Amino acid sequence: MAGRPVAARGGNGMLYGLIAFVVIAVASLGAFVWQLTANKDLQSANERAKKTIAKYGSPPAYYEQEASAQNTKVFAVMNKHLEDMALLITGKRDAVWPAISEAVNKLLGDIARESPGTIEAGDTLITALKNLHKAYKALGAENKQLATDLAEARLEAQTAKEGLKTVRDEFEQQVAELKDDMARLEKEKADQLAAKDEQLAKQQADADALAEELSNLKKTLQTKERDYDIELTRLTNQISDLRSKIQELKPGGFDPYAILTKADGRILRAIPGSDVVYISLGSKDGIRPGMTFEVFSPTGETRRDDFRGKASIEVTTTSATTAECRVQRTTRGRPIVEGDIIVNIAYERGRKPRFVIRGDFDLDYDGKTDFDGVEKVSAIVRAWGGQVADKVDESTDFVVIGTGPRVPAVPGGRPETPVIRSLTDHRLDRLKEFQADIDQARTLYIPIITQSQFLFLTGYSGSGPILAE
């Protein structure tokens, strides 16, 4: 093996080289043919790509730059952006434009209808989102304010609740106190009712005893009343008999009014033409300055109904047994002459005449009742020596009457009030008493004289004050 010849090794090398060359040549030819074919295919693909690009248009430079930056295809970038946009808008990557557009337009329309003024139907999605965000912020501020108001309201409610609890506690305390008071009052009421029942029972027993006593007293009074009626009848018959005897003793008839012109004194001296006269009464007879007398003729001239004399005189000065008088009034053709009698029914030498005064008086004749008329008449009586009595009886000398109490009439159509009824009843009672006193005076033949007659018979001249001061 170590001894192979060199020639033999060289001939084999060339053969191998030739074979390799042939192989490389064939391979190169095949590669050229393939390249030629590939170029043809690339040219065809390029033509188709150009047509496709012409069909789809050129993408924006942004997508080409993004594709270069990402080392990917333009359509891959665009497709990814479309998927991201679909996910952003609808939440689905596989959503296509018609579905996206329909969903967006429907949503914008619904919002525009349901919230007018927030967005408009033609707003873009971003504009709508801005407006909605703005409205959301406004609602957030409003909600924040409402939350603040709610917190304040809750605080006020809590405060009111606490105040209400305090008021409720106070109210319950007051109710409890009132219940205690009511219980106490009920007990006091029960105690008082028991005491009242006991008192009522005692009063009933007292009333029964009083009723029995009144019954016995009534029987006694009925017995006394019967005895009184018997005695009254006897006395009435006796008075009637005495009156009959008086009438028999005075054939001309008994005139109770004759006493009105009974002479108290006489005119001692009268100077014709002078207004001064002298009378037969003096200081020892109780005469004093200021007293007045009526002058009558002693011849028994016809008596006037008003018992007016022919003159009126007033005492000016007195001596022991005589008095000087001033003539206050005279009657034409009837001069005062010596021997004329003087009369003042309130004066009587040696005694005090008794007067009963009844009714209302108008002493100044002004048409209005004097509220103190009775007091003024009483003052005249006392001033001239008489006395005033309260009731008409056998000791009464004169009854002076004014007008009877007037009973007020209720105007037609007006209701009779309690005040008017009380006043009417009071006036009626006074009128009954007034008439009863007049009837009693007539029964006892006591002279009944009017206001004018009284004034004339006490020497009132018709001018000046009723009673000299």
**pLDDT range class, residue 1, cuts 50, 70, 90:** very low
Interval 109-160: pLDDT, tens? 778 777 777 777 677 878 878 887 887 888 888 888 998 989 998 998 898 8
Statement: residue 282 has pLDDT above 50: yes
Q: What is residue 29's predicted lDDT score, i.e. its pLDDT?
A: 82
Residue where the block lists tokens 């409610």: 157
Res. 3: pLDDT tops 60:
no
Distances (CA, A) of 139 to 117, 126, 136, 147, 406: 14, 19, 5, 12, 94
Look up residue 256 and give its DSSP letter: G
- Going by C-alpha positions, the residue among 31, 76, 36 that lies closest to residue 44 is 36
Would you say residue 253 has pLDDT above 90? no
Residue with tokens 């042939």: 22
Q: What is the C-alpha to C-alpha distance for residues 66 and 448, in angstroms, rounded to an integer?
A: 154
Q: How many domains does the chain have?
A: 2
What's the pLDDT band for 377 if we cut at 50, 70, 90?
Answer: very high
In terms of residue numbers, what domain contains 121?
61-129
The letter for the amino acid at 233 is T
Q: What is the signed CA dihedral for 102, 108, 113, 118, rounded to 10 degrees?
A: 180
Q: How confident is the model at residue 380 (pLDDT cuts 50, 70, 90)?
A: very high
Of the residues 72, 105, 129, which one is the last residue of a structural domain?
129
Is 464 within the bounds of a domain?
no
When pLDDT is averaged across residues 321-338 and rounded to a whole number, the result is 93
Q: Which of 423, 330, 346 is nearest to 387 (CA)?
A: 346
| pLDDT for 7 | 47
343 located within any domain: yes
For residues 328 and 292, is the Cβ–Cβ distance under 8 A? yes
Domain-located, residue 171: no
Q: Is residue 426 part of a domain?
A: yes
With respect to residue 174, please indicate whether it lies within any of the assigned structural domains. Answer: no
| Domain CATH number, residue 280 | 2.40.10.170
Q: Could you tell me which residue, 417 or 331, shows the higher pLDDT?
A: 331
* Chain centre distance of CA 174: 30
Rounded Cα distance between 413 and 390, Å, is 40
Residue-wise DSSP of 326-366:
EEEEEBTTB---TT-EEE-TT--TTS--EEEEESB--TT-S
pLDDT score recorded for residue 327: 94
The share of the chain scoring above pLDDT 70, in percent, equals 88
Q: How confident is the model at residue 338 (pLDDT cuts 50, 70, 90)?
A: very high
Q: Is the confidence at residue 448, as pLDDT, over 70? A: yes
Any domain includes 163: no
Average pLDDT for the chain: 83
For residue 248, being part of any structural domain is answered with no
The answer to whether residue 295 is domain-embedded is yes
Residue 2: pLDDT band by 50, 70, 90 thresholds?
very low
Cβ-count burial 82-105 (b if 16+ within 10 Å, e if not)? beeebeebeeeeebeeeebeeeee
Give yes or no: residues 287 and 428 share one domain.
yes
- What is the arithmetic mean of pLDDT over 100-106? 79
Pick the last residue of a domain from 73, 97, 129.
Answer: 129
Structure tokens at 202: 């005692």
**C-alpha span between 338 and 324 (Å, rounded):** 14
How far apart are alpha carbons 30 and 22 in whole angstroms? 12
Q: How far apart are CA 394 and CA 242, in angstroms?
A: 14
Can you tell me the distance from the alpha carbon of 300 to that of 258, in angstroms, rounded to the nearest whole number? 11
Q: What is the mean pLDDT of residues 430-458?
A: 90
pTM, entire model? 0.45
Higher-confidence position of 86 and 447: 447
**pLDDT tier for residue 11 given thresholds of 50, 70 and 90:** low
Highest mean pLDDT, choosing among 259-263, 306-310, 359-363: 359-363
Q: Which of 80, 108, 129 is the last residue of a domain?
A: 129
Q: Which percentage of the chain shows pLDDT scores above 90?
A: 24
Q: Are residues 118 and 260 in the same domain?
A: no
Would you state the pLDDT for residue 469? Answer: 41
